Amino acid sequence: MRVPSLLAVFAHPDDESLSAGGVLARHAAAGARTAVITATWAPDTPRAAELAEALRILGAGKPRMLGYGDAGAGHSAPGRERFCQAPLDGAVRRVVAHIREFRPEVVVTHDAYGGLTGHPEHVHTHRVTLLAFQAAGLERFAPEASEPWQPRALYLAAHPHSAMRVWGAHLASTGRAMLSVPDARITATVDVGPWLEQKVSAVLAHRTEVARGAAPGLIAGLPESDREQLLSTEWYIRHDALSAAGAQTELTV
């Protein structure tokens, strides 16, 4: 089966590895074109270099960074607007430009909750990507951004309620929210076990986040068996393009 090209859009450096590292590695290993757009952080920062290393490990090409400021880190993009405060239309147009240039069959991003923690910039990335996914095929939207291109499906990275038996045990001590979705909402459950080593290596390439005890730091401190439990499955909710009604483009599962 031919594996579809895939463009991922995530809020911060490390989100791509944590949320979709297995699918990115799996598609790349099967010969598909893959790439990642990152909404925040400037290209000339240490976290951009870490992102480049993670994408190299995953086979996802060079970083495509929008360069907006991360609200939690003033040094992320000096002089630039914070992502959630930037004009929505401008952010959508920039993602549309990348979609039209890369021409993916599948787009992947955060779910409507913004993942387990509900981070505001994750939620905003979901909104921007959903709008860009819908607008990229419209010939009168952003005509300056190349020829229209409509990806066939948008996949939202999510966690089902049933996964909380594993994830909850590790996140409860952090006091973070755990925003999961009903199992029935999940349309793609992907076994990424064969690519787990790549995924973990990509997560740990984000050394800044390891050092400060963020999610990559949590992963770094776990034994191999726990890493396998947490990271060897990825879950997605499929959202089809209206123009491609009846046509389904599947992630490799």
Where are the chain's structural domains? 6-244
- Which residue, 145, 101, 153, is CA-closest to 129? 153
Specify the pLDDT at position 95. 98
Q: Which two tokens stand for residue 161?
A: 């309620």
Q: Does residue 252 surpass a pLDDT of 70? A: no
Q: Is 142 left (phi over 0), alpha (psi -120 to 50) or beta?
A: left
Residue with tokens 């349309």: 187
Q: What is the pLDDT of residue 2?
A: 81
Whole-number pLDDT of residue 195 = 98
Q: What is the pLDDT of residue 245?
A: 43
Pairing of strands 233-240, 153-158: antiparallel
pLDDT at position 227 is: 93
Given this model, what pLDDT does residue 145 score? 81
Give the least confident one: 4-8, 23-27, 160-164. Answer: 160-164
Phi, psi of 42 (to 5 degrees): -85, 155
Tokens of 219: 């992963």
Using pLDDT thresholds of 50, 70 and 90, give the confidence band for residue 246. Answer: very low
pLDDT of residue 6: 98
Question: Which residues make Cβ contacts (< 8 Å) with residue 238, sequence separation at least 6?
Answer: 153, 154, 155, 156, 187, 188, 248
Give helix 15-29 / helix 196-204 axis angle, nearest 10°.
Answer: 140
Would you state the pLDDT for residue 86?
A: 97
Burial label for 37, CB within 10 Å (0-12, 13-18, 19+), is buried
Kindly state the tokens that stand for 115. Answer: 């993942």
Domain 6-244, CATH among 3.60.130.10, 3.40.50.10320, 3.20.20.150, 3.20.20.60: 3.40.50.10320
> Tens of pLDDT along 69-122?
999 899 999 999 999 999 999 999 999 999 999 999 999 999 999 999 899 999
Predicted TM-score (pTM) above 0.75: yes
Query: Is it the case that residue 243 has pLDDT exceeding 70?
Result: no
**pLDDT digit string, tens, across residues 166-212:** 776 666 555 566 899 999 999 999 999 999 999 999 999 999 999 99
Over residues 126-150, the mean pLDDT reads: 94
**pLDDT for residue 129 is more than 70:** yes
Determine the pLDDT at residue 175: 57
- Mean pLDDT for the chain overall: 92
Please report the pLDDT score of residue 143 as a whole number.
87
- 152-170 pLDDT, tens per residue? 999 999 999 999 887 766 6
Task: Summarize the confidence of residues 40-45 as an average pLDDT.
Answer: 96
Q: What per-residue confidence (pLDDT) applies to 173?
A: 56
In residues, how long is the chain? Answer: 253
